[in-house]
Amino acid sequence: MTRWSDTSPATLDEIAAVLRGGGVVLLPTDTIYGLHGLAGSREVASRIAAIKGREETKPFVILAASVAQVEALGAAVPPILNDLWPAPLTAVLATKEALSIAVRVPAVEWLRLLLERTGPLVSTSANRAGEPPTSAPNRLARTLQDALDGLLDAGPIEGEPSAIVDFTGDRPRLIREGEAGFTQNLRKTLRISL
């Protein structure tokens, strides 16, 4: 496993190469540490599900560099997301195939630069299913570390999981609250009542 400790362009190129090669990498995000791999690769998704010990049928969040990348996935992006993203906001969106996907444009510039290099990535919290998310690489279970191809150590992150809003219906519906201040502003912007 390769370990990185910075987000220089050279490091992002190395991380992107591991991901494009089908690797699974632990990365900090704008919320918490997560396990990441190429979106659209069934093999990578199966591997991440096995690492976490969760059902393969449970979908992952997809991280994208921009609204344009989200639209390239076939998702219908409401105009309001142009104003809200990048943010710790996961949006459930309808796709052309009459399915829905959960996607986020993270509020971390280096991560968006990485996503420009790799294309969209699947993302899920770094933990075994049913356990609390990992807030630092050195707290990650040895069995999870051993299953990874790479790890970016940015020190401890004490963030909250992202807010999740379902945009597939007539009105936005808050599924999960994120950080309190962000969620409060989100409710006002989207006119979601308690």
CATH number at residue 115: 3.90.870.10
So what's the pLDDT on residue 34?
94
Average pLDDT over residues 17-25: 98
Q: What is the mean pLDDT of residues 22-49?
A: 95
> Where does the pLDDT of residue 143 fall: very low under 50, low under 70, confident under 90, or very high at 90 and above?
confident
Name the residue range of residue 177's domain. Answer: 2-190
Q: Is-contact 156 32, C-beta < 8 A?
A: no
The predicted pLDDT at position 193 comes to 60
What value does the mean pLDDT take over residues 146-170?
Answer: 93
Tell me what pLDDT residue 133 has.
Answer: 85
pLDDT tier at 58 (50, 70, 90 boundaries)? confident
Highest mean pLDDT among 7-21, 48-62, 148-162, 169-183: 7-21
Of 34, 28, 46, 38, nearest to 119 by C-alpha is: 38
Tell me: pLDDT of 194 over 70: no
**What pLDDT is attached to residue 141?**
84
Buried/exposed code over 56-83 (b: 16+ C-beta within 10 A; e: otherwise): eeeebbbbbbebebbeebebebbeebee
Structural domains in the chain (count): 1
Mean pLDDT of the chain: 93
Using a pLDDT cut of 90, give the percent of the chain over it: 77
What does the pLDDT average to over 99-126?
96
Distance CA 101, CA 56 (A): 15
